[in-house]
Structure 1
Amino acid sequence: MANDYDIDATELLETYDFLMKYIIIGEAGTGKSCLLHQFTHNSFKEHSQHTIGVEFSSRTVKLGEKRIKLQLWDTAGQERFRSVTRSYYRGAAGAILVYDITNRASFLNLSRWLADARALGSPQLVTVLVGNKADREEDREVEWAEASRWAAENDIHFLEASSLTGDNVEAPFLLCARSILLAIESGALDPEKAGSGVSYGDRALRRVNSSSRLSFGSLSGGRRKGGVKIRLPGGSKCC
């Protein structure tokens, strides 16, 4: 069924201001592929199998006046693929770090995943921690407050989402992109520098002589009503 975000059909026609590389990482069984499928196809992925190695997809989003194309690398969580998947971490601008709120072991292993991402990704890597399967509150093994503290201690963003219902699924991808755009505007990140995980798109290059500053506006995914609710480290909310 066609939808407004049929990326495959429009990829050759669309223009964008920035291209950003993301990695989706975390233990096997946390729902990484389902989370990504919900974000790119606006539907739940039934009968999802464990990812073998790495799978690629993309989606173009809009933040204020900027169009950003996201390169999304979904990595396998199984240990036997670790040597393969880690090679895809290199030069990543953003990391979506996923755990399962109903599986405490997936939360306890987060430090290893974060350390690998920071060692191999862009020096300015932006990481968003996602507690997936928020629809299964009755089976919860990791409290929101505990995960929020861990995220704050490690200086990363945090929220919970449900790949089944679609609740808050767009938020981590958009929050990550917005943080990267702000780093570009502040001068902390240079898209022309090798290994930054970001490059200019055709739209930006056409305006290279423009003196206008980046304009972000509000986070905008365009598909779901009610806006995006985001919990930041420390319990505060934005959007």
Structure 2
Amino acid sequence: MTEPGGTASFRLGYVPGVTPGKWARIWAERRPDVPLELLGATTDEVVRRIRDGAVDAGLVRLPIDRAGLHAIPLYTETTVAVVPKEHVLTAVDEAGLDDLADEIVLRPRDDTLPWPGDLPGRAAASEVTTTAGAIELVAAGVGLLVLPQSLARLHHRRDLAHRPVSDAPQSSVVLTWPDAENTELMEEFIGIVRGRTAHSSRTPRRRDDPPSGAPTPATRGRTRRRASRRR
């Protein structure tokens, strides 16, 4: 994407809990000439911005509407239950859905877990809008919350704890971008998230990079020194 004034940039949307910092650092090392702009939003907002051309790609949680989009899986998140620190679940290392049967389980509107049917446990008396609001209710003793571990860490509080729920649905994080011919910058970012090295054959080489195997000034100097010693 080119900003007003002609400066190229790459704009990446990402959802709460996803941490693109590692990939951003690698991008800065490989493409210091192209700013990487990070824009946080919900999954629906990131997908809409991709379709509108406001961002080049996004790190989002499934499910999404895949029409007109590429998507490659990156990782699957552990699902945890967030409870008050004095809750009985803190006595175990791992819980199951059966352990939640008698609990009030909150489900905020922005919940992204792919539940196949009804939530475990009992429903809350009123609807909760956001995950942040649900965390406040858990701290108040109103119920517990089941969500991806990255979101539990994002909303960490000293008076709360979380435990893995072994048989709960899990959230998958993907990289998504428009289903069209990839730009050089898009290929570069795909290579970064897939762990390709800077000189991978599938990573576009910048014009000022020497071709793979070509002598650099340092290697040419070592070659001349070895040749001199052999005379």
| Larger-Rg structure | 2
Q: Which band: TM-score by shorter chain?
A: under 0.3
Query: Normalization by structure 2: what TM-score?
Result: 0.23
Query: Normalization by structure 1: what TM-score?
Result: 0.22
